[in-house]
Chains A and B, each alone.
Chain A
Amino acid sequence: MGQWKQQTLSRKNWMAFTGLFLCLYLVIHLAGNLQLFLPAERAHRQFNLYSHILSGNLIIKAISYILFACIIGHVVYAIIITVANNRARKIRYHYDRRGAASKWYSRNMGLLGTIIFIFLVIHLRDFWYVYKFGRLPMDADGHKDLYLLVVSVYGELWYVILYVICMVALCYHLLHGFFSAARTLGLYHPRYTHAVRVFGWVFSIVICSGFAAIPLYVYCLK
């Protein structure tokens, strides 16, 4: 098993596993947050109840630990891989036009990932940290009023713009990442490779436009 950890292919496997788990999480996260599109009164109560149930659930707690481990694993492996890749070519090309041979976002996964990571820190600080450790007013049902926090945060234009930009970065990251993960894990059949690639495009666009629509909707509602 010692060798398993050292090899380029196994490192990429870890990137694929952690990345796909994060993709799965995005689906669950978006599905829950779609409740914000309900009529304001209903959204208010239901969203607070939903977050109350989630925060009290042991399985959700276990999944959240796996989630944090996946984020850290994905970042750590990305750094290890990038350092090794930089070592694989120490002298740069004097004149470089290699970019014409591939998509820009496939070459800049690290940059896109950094934007997403910075966003994640801001996002966790504004919602997760405040919900867990901050002081929130209670709603009529006696649940922490997360809905109010969401509405007030998304009422700020600069935050909505930042959010949408980060979702565009996430979209490009997923456009390459989803199919790349399938390839790393060894999907080589030409028909299914194509199907996974198309699914990955649809997945990226649906997930990211869904997430970007929430702050825009809340902002416009205000």
Chain B
Amino acid sequence: MRIRLKIWRQENEHEPGKMMSYTLEDINPHMSFLEMLDTLNEQLLKDGTRPVEFDHDCREGICGQCGIMINGRAHGPLKNTTTCQLHMRTFTDNEEIIIEPFRASAFPVKCDLKIDRSAFDRVIQSGGFIAVNTGQAPEANSIPIGSPEVEAAFDAAACIGCGACVAVCKNSSAALFTSAKIAHLALLPQGQIEAQTRVRNMVNQMDKEGFGHCSNTEACEVECPQQISVLHIARMNYEYNKAQILKK
């Protein structure tokens, strides 16, 4: 199939970028979206021009590296998939595909489609952990916790930190990401001890990174490849308000 591409090209974080057009012939519909970009890059290298830089790692939908805006939607038109799990059969022959990096002030563009998501790392570093030396894995039944709680915590922990929630949010809010990390630990008995300092520190860091406010539009849940529930945001708000009220 024939594909017409319009891609955001930007030399580095200081230079202004612009949209550039490319055409690819003979694209196999069973190619993944990233393989299509690889094909484009091979062609660009042959032509002696700089290939398009984009983030990717596992290409199995679990690492959260590949995040781009495809035709105005985070991770493209499919629901609950990362960019790497999108295939060219989703598009029609001779279709124009517009590709841009995720946009947010907290996610500066480093080059082309590659963005700096270290703001998420700093949010995690500020409180997304349990500060005890756990040693060896304990005997599973020695920690009293119900199966529904484990499942709920795991659902929150499924967040891969791709940044689609920020990209799709009209306010560039990181509420879904931060709340998933907070809810994950708040649901587990090991997470209780530091629950209050954790939520305060993580919300603080989220604000420091320059993410916006949550307007509860719920677009983040719709575009999240891991279907992280917006109810985690409500839980974060609950944990935050509790922590603020009980603060000594």
Q: List the interface of chain A (C-beta within 8 A of B).
A: 3-4, 6-13, 81, 84-85, 87-98, 100-103, 106-107, 109, 176, 179-180, 183-188, 190, 193
Contact = CB atoms under 8 A, between A and B. Distances in A.
14 contacts: A8-B213, A88-B105, A88-B172, A88-B211, A101-B168, A101-B217, A102-B218, A102-B222, A106-B217, A107-B217, A109-B215, A183-B234, A186-B240, A186-B242
Interface in B99-158: 100, 103-106
A188 B19 contact: no
Interface residues of B, number: 49
Nearest to B206: A8
Contact of B73 (A88, A89, A98, A109): A98
Given A90-B105, A94-B98, A183 B168 contact: no
A98 B71 CA distance: 9
B207 A183 contact: no
A180 B215 CA distance: 7
Interface string B228-248: 001111111111111010000
A193 B231 contact: yes
B214 A8 contact: yes
A107 to B, nearest CB: 5
A186 B234 contact: yes
A198 to B, nearest CB: 16
A126 to B, nearest CB: 32
Given A12-B213, A84-B212, A89-B105, 12 more contacts: A8-B206, A9-B203, A12-B214, A88-B106, A93-B103, A98-B170, A176-B216, A186-B239, A188-B231, A188-B234, A188-B235, A190-B231
A91 B103 CA distance: 7
B36 interface: no
A58 B222 CA distance: 49
B84 interface: no
Contacts of A97: 71-73
A199 B103 CA distance: 36
A209 to B, nearest CB: 24
B78 interface: no
A186 B103 contact: no
A98 B238 CA distance: 28
A109 B213 CA distance: 13
Interface in B182-210: 203-204, 206-207, 210
Given A88-B172, A89-B103, A98-B74, A13 B216 contact: no
B54 interface: no
A173 B244 CA distance: 28
Given A95-B98, A101-B222, A102-B218, A8 B212 contact: yes
B234 to A, nearest CB: 4
